[in-house]
Amino acid sequence: MNKHLLDYNLKVRLPVIAFVAIAVFAITYYASYAERNSIGYAPEQPVKFSHKLHAGTMQVDCKYCHTGVDKSRTASIPAVDICMNCHSLARIDRPEILKLKSYFEQNKPLEWKRIHKTPDFVYFNHSAHVNKGIDCVNCHGDVKQMEVVGQVNSFTMGACLTCHRKPETKIVNYSDIKNNLKKGPENCSACHR
């Protein structure tokens, strides 16, 4: 390689390549973050399950399906068995229920798309909030009215801290539960363990 070409490679091509690589990385990183963490993210799910119908109209308790929510860190998404408690009888001729049944019979898990997610370095515990009377609606919005679940609040550090500092501005049923409520922690190690 002659010196001219080497110079050209170092001074012109390398910076251009580096710039393009960084830009591509930044854009894909931002896009995947925005897709998963932004308000309004409401992906289409493998079966058209409606919270509005089940939790709203039929008033099935959130805990019937999200069995971990008052016991552990995660709320948990129900396995197909729970749906089949009713759908081995209810609406068995409908296309979406036939789909459900085929997952059940093949013992195949339904791959629901995850909507709300904090990064792995964050510690969040559902039961610590829910058992103190902090209703789902404060963080997830009015799921009972949602045909398709979407994210309505941001789950940034600022959002957690705003409620920990000023719960009265963020918890809709604050006056009912305040006597039993401590302030949420603000020290780093509470949420980053």
For ligand HEC, the binding residues in 130-169 under the rule CB under 6 A are 130, 132, 134, 136, 138-140, 143-144, 149, 155-157, 159-161, 163-164, 167
CA-CA distance, 37 to 43, in Å (whole number)? 12
CA-CA distance, 72 to 94, in Å (whole number)? 35
Residues 6+ apart with CB under 8 A from 165: 183, 184, 186
Q: Which of 117, 165, 166, 178 binds ligand HEC (CB under 6 A)?
A: 117
Task: Tell me how far CA of residue 120 lies from CA of 46, 117, 153, in angstroms.
Answer: 25, 9, 19
Instruction: Choose the stretch contacting ligand HEC; rule: CB under 6 A; options: 9-17, 28-36, 101-109, 122-130.
Output: 122-130
Q: Which of 96, 101, 104, 152 binds ligand HEC (CB under 6 A)?
A: 96
Nearer to ligand HEC, 9 or 125 (CB): 125
Q: State yes or no: residue 177 binds ligand HEC (CB under 6 A).
A: no
CB 66 within 8 A of CB 78: yes
Nearer to ligand HEC, 27 or 190 (CB): 190
Nearer to ligand HEC, 2 or 115 (CB): 115
The half-sphere exposure of 15 on its side-chain side, counting CA atoms within 13 A, is 5
Q: State yes or no: residue 21 binds ligand HEC (CB under 6 A).
A: no
Q: State yes or no: residue 41 binds ligand HEC (CB under 6 A).
A: no
CA-CA distance, 89 to 91, in Å (whole number)? 7
